[in-house]
Amino acid sequence: MEFLLYLALGACAGVLAGLFGVGGGIIIVPVLVFSFKLQGFDPSILTHLAVGTSLATIIFTSVNAIREHHRRGAVRWPIFAWMTLGILIGAGFGALTAEAISGPHLQKIIGVFALIVAVQLALDFKPKASRTVPGKVGLTVAGSVIGWASAIFGIGGGSLTVPFLTWRSVPMQQAVATSSACGLPIAVSSALFFMILGWHDPLLPAHSLGFVYLPALLGIALTSMFFARFGARLAHNLSPRLLKRLFAALLFCVGLNFLL
**pTM, rounded to two decimals:** 0.86
Separation of alpha carbons 86 and 63, rounded Å: 20
For residue 22, is pLDDT > 70?
Answer: no
Separation of alpha carbons 215 and 206, rounded Å: 10
Give, in order, the Cα–Cα distances in Å from 251 to each of 157, 175, 223.
16, 22, 21
Q: Is 170 helix (H, G, I), strand (E, B) or coil?
A: coil
For residue 20, is pLDDT > 80?
Answer: no
pLDDT the model gives residue 9: 81
Q: How many domains does the chain have?
A: 1
Range of the domain at 218: 1-259
Q: Is 260 helix (H, G, I), strand (E, B) or coil?
A: coil
pLDDT single digits (tens) 73-94: 999 999 999 999 999 999 999 9
pLDDT single digits (tens) 29-72: 888 888 899 889 999 999 999 999 999 988 887 887 788 888 88
Separation of alpha carbons 10 and 17, rounded Å: 10
pLDDT the model gives residue 238: 64
Share of the chain above pLDDT 90, in %: 42
* Average per-residue pLDDT for the chain: 86
For residue 232, is pLDDT > 80?
Answer: no
pLDDT single digits (tens) 102-156: 988 999 999 899 898 888 877 877 777 778 899 999 999 999 999 999 999 988 7
pLDDT the model gives residue 119: 86
Separation of alpha carbons 239 and 173, rounded Å: 11
Share of the chain above pLDDT 70, in %: 93
pLDDT the model gives residue 209: 95
